[in-house]
A and B are shown apart, each in its own frame.
Chain A
Amino acid sequence: MATETAHPPAVERDERVRRVRLVSRLLSRPELGAVVGLVVVWTFFAVVAFDNNFVSWSATAAILNRAAPLGILAVAVALLMIAGEFDLSIGSILGFCGMAIMLLVTPEAAGGFGWSLWPAILVALVLAVLTGLVNGWLVITTKLPSFIITLGTLFIFRGLTVAITRLRTNRTQLGNLDEVPGFDLAEKLFAAKLTLFGSTFNVSILWWVGLTLLATWVLLRTRQGNWIFGTGGAVDAARNVGVPVRAVKMALFVTTAFAGFLVATIQAVEFTGADTLRGQGQEFQAIIAAVVGGCLLTGGYGSAVGAAVGALIFGLVQQGIVITGIQGDWYQVFIGGVLVVAVILNNFVRLKAAARR
């Protein structure tokens, strides 16, 4: 290599870098705010609810079980947000897919189609991909903000779910999934319970962790990840250097729809049924988790790990309030407060990180 002669100055330069590196490396991580928030919230409940056994394996399992479904949604939503778009319809897609599975497996006498479970899951997956494509196609062709487009599809998908279910079965809830052929395998995959330290952990935690790791790998170690950051950071610049921004957005709308499908399947199997209103409000919780995890509303910045931690904070607060015995009505106040504080903190951290020279 021709760098032989350049070595002494290079070493000198490295030293100049290292002085700021430790602190600023930490500061420039998007998930820092969420991790700090996690520690603060956990400490708060650990102190307040110590006597109620908050610091225990059983409480930890309950927190993780609550956080897992939201975490799966939040990680997908985070990827899309980094690419500069929103998906408000993810909760409706969740309800839509769950109900699709239930309608397909419900006996014909009760207004369903009498299928076995796995073909139903497969069809729900295809439907989810289609909803994702519809969202992406509408956003790309109309060039309207995805906030508006998916606000529309939020109502469309939810309305379709309620209307079709009522039309076919005259009900809003369908159950008895455990009587359908194929349920045993589905239960092992989507709703198995793992007993560790005398507490019950849902297998959905593994899905959540696995998807978070996969998303992180894609974001940081593949060219597609670079394209996601580029698309959200400055769409024209990215297009000018040859990033297929339309394909990136399409793929990510399908990803959020897939997350909705996965959670729908997990919950349908876990609760052996579905409700037409399932998933309502999840779109906002997922966006909040992503923002708490360091995603910028304007795109181009964020992390999957951060979104997962954001979802964990949700689980922590939900379970903490239950354990503490605080009236459940206060939950929303708490979550809203966490959101505002997190955004202020993130903003501050990002300005600090950008200002380092």
Chain B
Amino acid sequence: MTSNGGPLLEVKGISKYFGSVIALKDVSMFVRAGEVTCLLGDNGAGKSTLIKTLSGVYRADEGEYLFEGEPMDFRSPRDALERGIATVYQDLAMIPLLSIWRNFFLGSEPTKGWGPLRRYDVEYATATTRDELGKMGIDIRDPDQPVGTLSGGERQSVAIARAVHFGAKVLILDEPTASLGVKQAGVVLRYIVQAKQRGIGVIFISHNPHHAYPVGDHFVILRRGQVYGDFTRKELTLEGLVQMMAGGEELENLAHELERAAAGGTAAEDLRKAAALLEAETGRRDDREPPPGPAPRPSG
């Protein structure tokens, strides 16, 4: 968990325009080796554009891109990958019908033999897949099983293990926990910590502060294409993080509105549930009485 001072990857004053649309304006952020930088923001905040700029899909219209202190100008994701900047996309990471080991080495297959007898080193590939996943603490029953039979969390984990194996220095994770259940998200969060402990700089994109806060070393909050804040873990509480994300106040107002509606005799059970959920989301803890209403009727 040692951070050797300078940032591993840094962008300074990056802007990106699509015609008249300003997708990113003057965005700066960095990640150090062995640290997790969380990139938070609501839909439309510019997260996707920033990720694609970092991973080499887009080129910024303005600003600087530094990797290991050197200015970079990536023309494709392949360029970034060769430098050691690996991006794990939420849904494009794996090929469902292909076995785990075939997925693991897809595009970088180990070979043996020469000339026309040059062939895929299947034994090495299966053994390495099993080893690498084992190192990340992923227990797979059979490297031959299709990736489609894995759960979403396991799939993300395999993708992370693959990026680590192929020498990623920076790992960009695009919403790896977004479509996962609580337990599965926990599994992925653990691998993020594992990757960080192996000295990798992790950029963890999320719109869920509850997932980001436990693993992040510092937090960049994007709002409407600009950096709204950049905080270290110490400067921030989970509640503060939640508030800071887009629409924190609006969510609270909505919670109040829903509560009033439920208390006002509309008797909508689901409305009260929604209000309670929103309250949990915004992290508010007060000791108010539950809103009065008719007792919930068991329905069959």
Report which A residues bind B (CB closer than 8 A). Answer: 3, 6, 13, 16-17, 21, 28, 217, 220-223, 225-227, 229-230, 233-234, 236-238, 240-243, 296, 300-301, 353-357
Contacts and interface: CB of A to CB of B under 8 A. Distances in A.
Interface string B82-107: 00000101001111111000100111
5 contacts: A234-B95, A236-B92, A237-B92, A300-B95, A300-B96
B124 interface: no
A230 B105 CA distance: 11
Contacts of A13: 139, 141
Given A236-B92, A300-B98, A221 B107 contact: no
A159 B111 CA distance: 45
Contacts, number: 83
A238 B141 contact: no
Given A13-B139, A226-B102, A240 B146 contact: no
B78 interface: yes
Given A226-B102, A230-B95, A234-B95, A241 B139 contact: no
Interface stretch (B61-69, B115-123, B205-213, B241-249): B115-123
A354 B96 CA distance: 9
Nearest to A221: B119
B80 to A, nearest CB: 11
Interface residues on B, range: 20 to 34
A356 B142 CA distance: 11
Contacts of A222: 111, 118-120
B81 A242 contact: yes
B108 interface: yes
B149 interface: yes
Given A17-B142, A222-B119, A233-B98, A238 B106 contact: yes
B120 A237 contact: no
A221 to B, nearest CB: 5
B92 A226 contact: no
In the complex, which of the residues A21, A227, A233 has the most CB atoms of chain B within 10 Å of its own CB atom? A233
Contacts of A21: 142
A225 B92 contact: no
Interface in B118-160: 118-120, 122, 131, 134, 139, 141-142, 145-146, 148-149
A101 to B, nearest CB: 28
A300 B94 CA distance: 12
